[in-house]
Amino acid sequence: MRDRHRGRRSGVLQEEHQELRRLCPACIARHGVDVGRRFIERFAGAQTGFLPAFDLHHDLARHLWDESRHSQFGFRQLPKHGVDLMTLEHSLDLYHILIQMPPAERYAMMTMEFEAGSFPTKARIMDRVRELNDFEADTLLAFDRNDEQNHVRYGHRWLPVIMKLCGHEEPVDEFVNSTRRHFAELAEKFGGRTPHTLSPDRRFTAAKIKAMCDA
């Protein structure tokens, strides 16, 4: 906002502008979304039906952004510990299986199964990483865990809405349980594939990572 416009700025605009100026550059993109969201809340109004759709897309976008950040955490830290990213095994099992499922089932598996069930494994990983005395890795993993807690919250909030949008009328628990069974059936047929350009002897496999950790 330029100063010559200050006199015409509403109270809400001034408040948002002041808040924006307090931000560090790293937060500004995310905060831009929040600022826009608050304008829509105040001026569009929930009664139009627009707000829930915007909230849904806001949380999905945040979820996607978090996951891309988590991936960057690995790209940043693993080479510091001698892992060559070009040889790292990347299983595409979940892609091959989930692509067979309708959108609401994919969202249910991601939030109510994979993310909700990830915390014991994350705790074990954080304990082992702490032994490396890598403060940055510790911090990034703490961000990851915090983000995942939000993702599970998103699942509880939005799965019923996504189910409704996709025409699933059954209770949520019933839907989640039938989705788990469907996933297990699909895993029999489409799981176990790990396409990679390198042969297993040159590839940094999960077994080799485990051996490195156990050593």
Binding site residues, Fe ion, CB under 5 A: 115, 148, 151
b/e per residue 12-22 (b: at least 16 CB within 10 A): eeeebeeeeee
- In the complex, the smallest distance separating the C-beta of residue 145 from Fe ion, rounded to whole angstroms, is 10
Mapped onto helix, strand or coil, the DSSP state of residue 45 is coil
- In the complex, the smallest distance separating the C-beta of residue 70 from Fe ion, rounded to whole angstroms, is 7
- Which stretches within the chain are classed as H helix? 11-21, 28-43, 50-77, 93-98, 103-108, 119-130, 135-165, 172-190, 206-214
- Check residue 114 and report its DSSP letter: I
- Check residue 44 and report its DSSP letter: T
- In the complex, the smallest distance separating the C-beta of residue 14 from Fe ion, rounded to whole angstroms, is 36
Judge whether 186 and 93 are in contact, CB under 8 Å. Answer: no
- In the complex, the smallest distance separating the C-beta of residue 169 from Fe ion, rounded to whole angstroms, is 27
CA distance 106 to 166: 12
- Judged by CB, which is closer to Fe ion: 107, or 204? 107
Q: How many CB atoms lie within 10 A of CB 127?
A: 9
Please list the residues that pair with 204 across neighbouring strands: 88
- In the complex, the smallest distance separating the C-beta of residue 84 from Fe ion, rounded to whole angstroms, is 26
- Judged by CB, which is closer to Fe ion: 50, or 75? 75
- Judged by CB, which is closer to Fe ion: 38, or 58? 58
- Judged by CB, which is closer to Fe ion: 151, or 204? 151
Tell me which residue of 11, 3, 76, 87 sits closest to 42, measured CA to CA: 11
- Judged by CB, which is closer to Fe ion: 106, or 151? 151
Judge whether 41 and 68 are in contact, CB under 8 Å. Answer: no
- In the complex, the smallest distance separating the C-beta of residue 137 from Fe ion, rounded to whole angstroms, is 18
- Judged by CB, which is closer to Fe ion: 41, or 147? 147
